Amino acid sequence: MAEQGPIVFCTGGGCTAKLGAGVLSRILEKLPRSEKDPDLLVGYDSRDDAAVYRITEDIALVQTVDFFPPMVDDPYTFGQIAAANALSDVYAMGGEVKTALNLVCFPESMDLNVLGEILRGGAEKVAEAGACWWWHSIADTGVKYGLSVTAGRSAPPDGQRYRPPGRQTSSDQALGVGLICTANRVGEAAPEQMEAAVRSMTTLNKAAAEIARRYEVHAATDVTGFSFLGHLHEMMGEKLSSVIDAHAVPILPGAWEAADACLYTAAGQRNRNHTGPFVRFEKVPFPMEEILFDPQTSGGLLFAVAPQDAAALEAELQAAGLPAKIVGTIGEKQTPEITVTYE
């Protein structure tokens, strides 16, 4: 693709382009609420990754949408990342992907071969997920791509969404892609560091989700634009608290150096401003703090697991080639909500 030239980027690609969590909260709380539908199991009044709607006593639909501007130069790789990122929400909700609708914004003046490569990358990831796809496009001033995804899953019994505390948290992917992509844009990331970040972003969470079904997992979320700590805060749901051992959190090579060089994003600072009041750091080095607030694009899954299953789940995820680690515990609600240590 070198002969076609790079895609013209916006100032923040991938999940760094998302509106901040604080802004979204203020908007959503002002929207009118429709009449309560008993079959809407998960709606926008929750902090979940996708909507869940019961269509029979045993079956529910899982629906989500995600798209963004590019964060890498290669169109094919961008298509892979954007598709993997959109599919991830379904895996976090325990769904099995059935269909994916491509959402494309593309300049009419740009080489259509670039668009073809974006769609090829996306189509390969949708096929890897075992789903079928079609697409919708509009002319725009910049490139944006993603998917609207529909999946199926078993309909959980009413009241199953909240489980008692006494769990361990497990993360299945390394952090730091936002920092490394920023460093790459200014020529400060080594090629092998960017390659590791791309491998992480193009890895589907399908295998991790399938493995997790064999264990007592009480909750899951995919770690994306709101950062590890932001999504953990959402998982706590104002009912629980967590203690995280930051030393156990897997990070990508080069992420620490990028954070230490202050190559972080505006989105990362929005994450700190929104989630920081709920977090207490105990002797955590500043670069590690920034990694925990770093917006991830197509990040891994964060599981809340029954203590008796945590070690076995960690071992099976690692055997599948994933850098999974037990990173903390969940307990009764306390203040602060999240304590981060560095042992």
Total residues found in the chain within this entry: 343
Q: What is the pLDDT of residue 228?
A: 97
Q: How many CB atoms lie within 10 A of CB 272?
A: 20
Cα 161 to Cα 156: distance, rounded to the nearest angstrom: 8
Its pTM stands at 0.89
Closest CA to 18 of 299, 279, 275, 268: 268
Q: Taking CA 318 as the corner, what is the angle to CA 49 and CA 271, rounded to the nearest 5 degrees?
A: 35
Cα 341 to Cα 338: distance, rounded to the nearest angstrom: 10
Q: What is the pLDDT of residue 13?
A: 63
The verdict on whether 262 is a catalytic residue reads no
Closest CA to 67 of 50, 85, 92: 85
Assess whether pLDDT exceeds 70 at residue 161: no
The CATH number for 167-341, chosen from 3.40.50.970, 1.20.58.1910, 3.40.50.410, 3.90.650.10, is: 3.90.650.10
Matching fold, domains 2-154 and 167-341: no
Cβ atoms of residues 77 and 119 within 8 Å: no
Sheet holding 325-332, edge to edge: 217-222, 301-305, 167-171, 325-332, 240-245, 338-341, 279-282
Helix or strand holding residue 314 (H, E): helix 307-319
- Percentages of the chain per state (helix, strand, coil), in multiples of 5: 40, 25, 35
Cα 327 to Cα 246: distance, rounded to the nearest angstrom: 7
Question: Dihedral of CA 15/88/200/287: which sign?
Answer: positive
What single-letter DSSP state applies at residue 337? S
Cα 162 to Cα 58: distance, rounded to the nearest angstrom: 19
Helix or strand holding residue 66 (H, E): strand 59-68
Highest CATH level, class, for 2-154: alpha beta
Q: Which of the residues 15, 132, 181, 262 is marked catalytic?
A: 15
- Cβ neighbourhood burial of 335 (10 Å; 0-12, 13-18, 19+): exposed
The domain segmentation of the chain, as residue ranges, is 2-154, 167-341
Question: Dihedral of CA 89/94/96/98: which sign?
Answer: negative
Sheet holding 132-139, edge to edge: 40-42, 51-54, 59-68, 144-154, 96-106, 132-139
- Residue of higher predicted confidence among 327 and 22: 327
User: If phi over 0 gives left and psi between -120 and 50 gives alpha, with beta otherwise, what is residue 5?
Assistant: left
Window from 13-17, 186-190, 200-204, 238-242 with minimum mean pLDDT: 13-17
The per-residue pLDDT for range 28-86, each reduced to its tens digit, is: 777 777 778 888 888 776 767 788 999 999 999 999 999 999 989 899 999 999 999 99
Helix or strand holding residue 177 (H, E): helix 177-185
What does pLDDT average to over the chain? Answer: 89
Window from 34-48, 76-90, 136-150, 327-341 with minimum mean pLDDT: 34-48
Q: What is the pLDDT of residue 263?
A: 93
Phi, psi dihedrals of residue 55, rounded to the nearest 5°: -110, -20
3-state SS class at 291: helix
